[in-house]
Amino acid sequence: MRIVIKKLAYIPFLICMGGCIGNKECKELPQDAVSYMVSSILQTKEISFPSYYIVKDMSGKTCRVDSIFAKPCLVFRFSELNCENCIKSSIEMIRESKIRNHIIGLASYNNMRMLHLAQKKYDISFPVYYVPMNDSDILSAQHEKHGNPYLFLLDRDLKSNCFFSPSLQYPEFFKEYLEQTFVMLEEKRRGEIDTFCEKNKDLGTVVKGRKYEIEFVYTNTTDDLLVINDVKTSCGCLISQWRKEPLPPGKTSNLMVEFTPESLGYTSKTIVVSHNQSNIPIRLKIKANVVDGMDD
């Protein structure tokens, strides 16, 4: 499954400014210019990951990406086709940054043995997952074709943004990028209130055209009244109902969703819940494999 990529005007600038430049002398830029340009990068969005996509951890165990990215994180994408100095330099700067505990690697090598050797060679301490070389088309084609390592933020709804290619020539850009993305992740994690006891519902196999009722239970874990202001769904196949009255602290209620699958195959639907206790909405997921029920 290929991903549709938005063609963004800033990409050529990033490739020229942010790509790996071998061993050329580092250049210094004014800090205010660095901050401004990095801030512009952080306002962009590009691709979505298919939640069912399979990768392997370093032990060889297969994992779905939606189980790996349960929280927002920074992704470091690299492969054996990339400049070795660029990979090494990037990992060293990541290791020295505050964001080092919020990063996950996606790496492509000819086989798992080669990836293990790379992990040891670069002294990688963050989690790394194996993506086969011929499966790299799930990633940003715009960045993959330039052959350089790059990074991006990934939300737990698998929306990626803030793409950046580190440069050996302009290390201050990468340092600023790591600092700003760390602040963004911290704000996201602080802003998310743990109200729903279960945010992902896997319905297994369902029949096209049938109605299914899904219950999401939530508790007011704050010290004030909790009010759900709005619930938005990713398609017309979802109808939601929820308590409109304020929910007192410590009390529990439920959000009911009626799901009528419309197309065959694996599907993943999103429900976005906005409430009065945070400006960060809560994202719920419904997943299912939809089959034709004509033979029932």
The mean pLDDT value for 78-87 works out to 94
| CATH code assigned to 11-191 | 3.40.30.10
AA identity, residue 135: D
- Kindly tell me if the per-residue pLDDT of 217 is higher than 70: yes
Q: What is the structure's pLDDT at 189?
A: 67
Residue with more model confidence, 110 or 45: 110
pLDDT digits (tens, 9 = 90+) for 17-71: 444 544 445 555 444 445 545 544 554 555 677 777 889 999 999 998 888 887 8
Q: Is the separation of the CB atoms in 105 and 128 below 8 Å?
A: yes
Task: Supply φ then ψ for residue 114, to 5 degrees.
Answer: -65, -35
Beta bridge partners of 265: 290
What average pLDDT does this structure show over 177-201?
79
Return residue ranges of the chain for CATH 3.40.30.10.
11-191
| pLDDT top residue among 65 and 187 | 65
Contacts of the segment 24-29: beta carbons below 8 A, 24+ positions apart: 24/168, 24/169, 25/169, 26/168, 26/169, 26/170, 26/171, 27/169, 27/170, 28/172, 29/170, 29/172, 29/173
Query: Does 187 score more than 60 pLDDT?
Result: yes
Amino acid identity, position 50: P
- CA-to-CA dists, residue 109 to 76, 77, 164, 196, angstroms: 14, 12, 21, 39
Instruction: Report the pLDDT value the prediction gives residue 36, as an integer from 0 to 100.
Output: 44
Q: What is the pLDDT of residues 142-171, one digit of tens each?
A: 778 878 899 999 887 788 888 888 988 888
CATH topology of domain 200-291: Immunoglobulin-like (2.60.40)
222-260 pLDDT per residue, tens: 888 999 999 998 888 999 999 999 999 889 999 999 999
Helices and strands, number each (H, E), in the chain: 7, 15
The residues of the chain that CATH labels 2.60.40.10 are 200-291
CB atoms within 10 A of CB 18: 27
pLDDT, residue 15, reads 36
Torsion 113-114-119-122 (CA) sign: positive
Q: Is the pTM of this model over 0.85?
A: no
Residues 6+ apart with CB under 8 A from 55: 62, 63, 65, 68, 106, 129, 130, 131
Q: Are 128 and 119 in contact, with CB atoms under 8 Å apart?
A: yes
